[in-house]
Amino acid sequence: MSYQPSPTRYQNIEYRRCGKSGLKLSALSLGLWHNFGFVNDFENSRNIIHTAFDSGITHFDLANNYGPPPGSAEEVFGKILHSDLQGYRDELIISTKAGYTMWDGPYGDWGSKKYLVSSLDQSLKRMKLDYVDIFYHHRPDPETPIEETMAALDLIVRQGKALYAGLSNYNAQDAQKAITILKELGTPCLIHQPKYSMFVRDPENGLLDVLGNNGVGCIPFSPLAQGLLTDKYLNGIPADSRVATSGVFLNESHITPERVEILKKLNGVALQRGQKLAHMALSWLLKDSRVTSVLIGASRPEQVTDSLQSLKNTAFSNEEINAIEAILKQ
């Protein structure tokens, strides 16, 4: 039987304006960094996407190098899009990025116009799309003039291969430069994607101010610190956890007794709020009006549904904020 999206999908979720643009994003967006490569179970990947769209999540976030192998997440997503969501393309925000190594030689990495234009052409072929909604430069390039990289984003938007331009992993100073150049070119920066969570607070050192002052949206990735900010590690390391099985982005050295103690205290605050720790960690990011949407990952459809619980309580009292800050300073 062919997939029919839930008729009530737009009643389940909040949509937030992205900076000062005309675009709204679902408060939670689905990132395809993990669990959508050729190495993963296709039907499971498909069910995760169905569950997300049924829940009102309209934004699907990819990059050229997501997999493994690199490129395969875009291919898998493209396949699901064309078999199941073909008639719903105009209800979706699809984003991709370029900035990390994709192919051999001097033109397969970083931020040259040559690389960005070629990479997006490849991404569009993999997803069988005419355009993406948002195209990001994935990380700053220390060797390419920022003017060239921003001119490439401007060109791509003018060619109609992307509707909006975005940045990822830029610090406050570089983001301000990039945003100013894009504005002068006539292709304003829509959104910035930083690593941001209760444990990674770098965007608070000026970046959020830059985005707020320039009317640029913010969409944090790794909001649960690769799964640390869940109740998974409160009592040791489970055999099926990411730490035990892959250990690439999160490993045993991150699960110190001190860190577990902090997690237990944060969990105590979450329980008082009627939330799980993971829900509170997502709500905590969404309490800032400069944050448009938060990128969640999922290895099972149920995790998408579960994450939506975070939207039921995104307000924090001063006492709760003070308690959380005191715990995090330990």
Q: How do residues 62-84 score in pLDDT, each as one tens digit?
A: 999 999 999 999 999 999 999 99
Please state, in angstroms and rounded to a whole number, the distance separating the CA atoms of residues 57 and 14. Answer: 9
Percent of the chain with pLDDT over 70: 95
Percent of the chain with pLDDT over 90: 90
- The answer to the question of residue 239 being in a domain is no
Query: Any idea which of 92-96, 251-255, 313-317 has the lowest mean pLDDT?
Result: 251-255
**Res. 112: pLDDT tops 70:** yes
- The answer to the question of residue 211 being in a domain is yes
Query: Is residue 265 exposed (0-12), middle (13-18) or buried (19+ Cβ within 10 Å)?
Result: middle
Write out the two tokens for 244: 């035990």
Query: Any idea which of 87-96, 152-161, 169-178, 246-255 has the lowest mean pLDDT?
Result: 246-255
- Per-chain mean pLDDT for the chain: 95
pLDDT at 100: 98
Mean pLDDT of all residues in 312-329: 97
- The answer to the question of residue 324 being in a domain is no
Summarised one tens digit per residue, pLDDT across range 11-55 is 989 999 999 999 999 999 999 999 999 999 999 999 999 999 999
Q: Are 219 and 192 in contact (CB under 8 A)?
A: yes
- Domain assignment of residue 87, given as a range: 9-226+288-309
pLDDT at 245: 56
Query: Is residue 15 exposed (0-12), middle (13-18) or buried (19+ Cβ within 10 Å)?
Result: middle
Angle at 227 between CA 297 and CA 49, to 5 degrees: 15
Please state, in angstroms and rounded to a whole number, the distance separating the CA atoms of residues 258 and 271. Answer: 20
pLDDT at 243: 60
**Res. 126: pLDDT tops 90:** yes
Which residues are CB-neighbours of 105 under 8 A, at least 6 positions away? none
- The answer to the question of residue 254 being in a domain is no
Q: Are 209 and 172 in contact (CB under 8 A)?
A: yes
From first CA to last CA, the distance across the chain in angstroms is 54
pLDDT at 237: 72
- Output the pTM of the full model: 0.95
**Res. 187: pLDDT tops 80:** yes
- The answer to the question of residue 249 being in a domain is no
**Domain CATH code at residue 155:** 3.20.20.100
- The answer to the question of residue 269 being in a domain is no
- The answer to the question of residue 235 being in a domain is no
pLDDT at 246: 58
- The answer to the question of residue 41 being in a domain is yes
pLDDT at 162: 99
- Count how many domains the chain has: 1
pLDDT at 251: 64
Summarised one tens digit per residue, pLDDT across range 242-256 is 565 555 556 677 788
pLDDT at 256: 86
pLDDT at 253: 74
